[in-house]
Structure 1
Amino acid sequence: MLSDYITTVLAAGWISLRLAFLALLLAVVLGLLGALGKRSGSRLLRWPVEVYTTVVRGVPDLVLMLLVFYSLPALLNQGLESLGWDYYVEFSPFAAGCATLGLIFGAYMTETFRGALQGIPHGQIEAAQAYGLGRARTFFGIVLPQMIRLALPGFTNNWLVLVKGTALVSLLGLQDIMFRARGAAEATGKPFTFYLIAGGFYLAITVISLLALMWLGKRYSMGVRELSQ
């Protein structure tokens, strides 16, 4: 009986992982666009990004999640009704959680990538342009590899916080590992056991992520170490 509950709880870990990876993908895209926007010479691009990062980092994650899941569909439905459209908008807990976490950590990734881009000597970009390299080849061949190395510490921290942030989506009704751990704890009267299992799951993801990102950091730092010797 107890083993069945444990299996059910651990099986929900896949939902939490899928949510985390999809939210990370959205956060990375928004972070790259935001970082490029902040470094743009156009105020028309800089100001929206400044507002986005300031607002998102200043409002609690749970508040934003509740706004996206409950308030945004209600607002959209009111607008559609006023236009006379017979259409009803409703977000699933997974979609709302993924979008919210992506938006939240996109703001943090923006600052991470912006700092990494600032750490790349501008002379290297000028040298690439002098050799006739186009913008795409300069970015992917010179800027991006160095940006990854410089952004990895901040990226690692953001990823670990994002993974733990997926637990908040259980409050929207998503049957992730926290949702099922809470259900199993209430059904069996053994909250310590099942919350410990959920905590162990997040800890395992943290350890695996740290090892993988440490390896990636060493890989991208190999040339730097050789030049410094």
Structure 2
Amino acid sequence: MSGLFSALSSFWAWIGYAFDPLCGPVGLFRIFASDTIVACGDAGWGDEIAFGVKVTISLALVTLPVGLVLGFFIALALQSRDKALRTAAGIYTTIFRGLPELLTLFIVYYGLQMAIQSMLAYMGVEERIEINAFFAGMIALSVVFSSYCSEVLLSAFRAIPKGQYEAGDALGFHRGRTMLLIILPQLIRIALPGLGNLWMSLLKDTALVSVIGLSDILRQTGVAAKVSKEAFFFYLLACCLFLVLAMLSSIGIGFIDRWTKRSEVRR
């Protein structure tokens, strides 16, 4: 079994290298900056910055589905007939939309460690626990993203006529199937512009995790700037990398938007 995991790890590492847009076989740094300060290998900072790009993208991509799922259920709770559910969901969104993202990150990163250690101490286990920075960043960004996402989805829910639910009932669908086949496709189409903006904000907010030691774009370029004394160059490079990610995201969101509207075009 350990041999299988080792083989999978090696294969994944090779995939990461082969498709690395910066330091891969046909990476930009490797082709155009081999004799500069961002060269790949021991000669420059290319590998470190490429790793930071992977961490930033991975964190955003992992946070997105978690935040979407949480936001969806919170939006359902906000329009529930149960007053307790509406109140709890309202408190959740008020807290995490009101707190600065950086403060939420600190609370999750340090507070979660304290809570786990207190539980272990209560159970008689004296051991220091340190929360993984990537996991803490994902949790913090997910709760913030979900609080804003729930409001976008709630507005989308309210924009769908109640007759759509009645149509599902008339067809003999149970509520789950009505939600999946009738409501959800319309919900995605209506909420997509707002969710696209939230994705852009999430992509920028990943830079906050650098303060808890996660090696994202901002941290890697910051370390390179301090060591090389080329602060302007490396921070300008960080700006360019985030702008490239934003442009690629805009292209992807535009493609999804056209795909969701294909039925309207056929009409």
Q: Pairwise mapping of residues 33-52 of structure 1 onto structure 2 (< 5 A)?
A: 33-52=73-92
Structure with the bigger percentage of helix: 1
- Preserved CA contact (<8 Å) 2:112 2:131: no
Aligned-partner residue type, residue 98 of structure 2: G
Aligned-partner residue type, residue 141 of structure 1: L
After TM superposition, give the deviation of residue 85 of structure 1 in Å: 3.4
Aligned length: 227
The 1:81/1:197 distance shift into structure 2, 3 A limit, reads same
Aligned partners of 2:259, 2:119: CA distance in 1, in Å? 51
- Preserved CA contact (<8 Å) 1:93 1:169: yes
Aligned partners of 1:166, 1:59: CA distance in 2, in Å? 16
Give ranges in structure 1 of 5+ residues lacking alignment. none
RMSD: 1.5
Aligned partners of 2:116, 2:180: CA distance in 1, in Å? 39
Aligned partners of 1:121, 1:212: CA distance in 2, in Å? 29
Q: Which residue of 2 aligns with 1:217?
A: 257
After TM superposition, give the deviation of residue 87 of structure 1 in Å: 4.7
Of 162, 185, 204, which aligns to 2:225?
185
The DSSP-based 3-state class of the residue aligned with 1:12 is helix
Of 83, 100, 105, which aligns to 2:145?
105
Q: Which has the higher contact order (CA 8 A, sep 6+)?
A: 1
| CA radius of gyration, larger in | 2
Of 12, 17, 25, which aligns to 2:57?
17
CA deviations on 1:119-169 (whole Å, 9 max, x unpaired) are 111101101101111222211111011000011011001100001000000
Report the TM-score, using the length of structure 2 for normalisation.
0.81
Aligned partners of 2:127, 2:88: CA distance in 1, in Å? 30
Q: Pairwise mapping of residues 76-115 of structure 1 onto structure 2 (< 5 A)?
A: 76-115=116-155
The 1:128/1:176 distance shift into structure 2, 3 A limit, reads same
- Preserved CA contact (<8 Å) 1:6 1:194: no
The DSSP-based 3-state class of the residue aligned with 1:133 is coil
Aligned partners of 2:250, 2:64: CA distance in 1, in Å? 16
Of 154, 157, 161, which aligns to 1:121?
161
Report the TM-score, using the length of structure 1 for normalisation.
0.94
The DSSP-based 3-state class of the residue aligned with 1:175 is coil
After TM superposition, give the deviation of residue 211 of structure 1 in Å: 1.1
1:174 equivalent in alignment to 2:200: no
Q: Which residue of 2 aligns with 1:26?
A: 66
Aligned-partner residue type, residue 77 of structure 1: Q
Q: Which residue of 2 aligns with 1:133?
A: 173
After TM superposition, give the deviation of residue 225 of structure 1 in Å: 4.6
Of 184, 187, 192, which aligns to 1:152?
192
Q: Which residue of 1 aligns with 2:241?
A: 201
Aligned-partner residue type, residue 72 of structure 1: L
Q: Which residue of 1 aligns with 2:113?
A: 73
After TM superposition, give the deviation of residue 226 of structure 1 in Å: 5.0
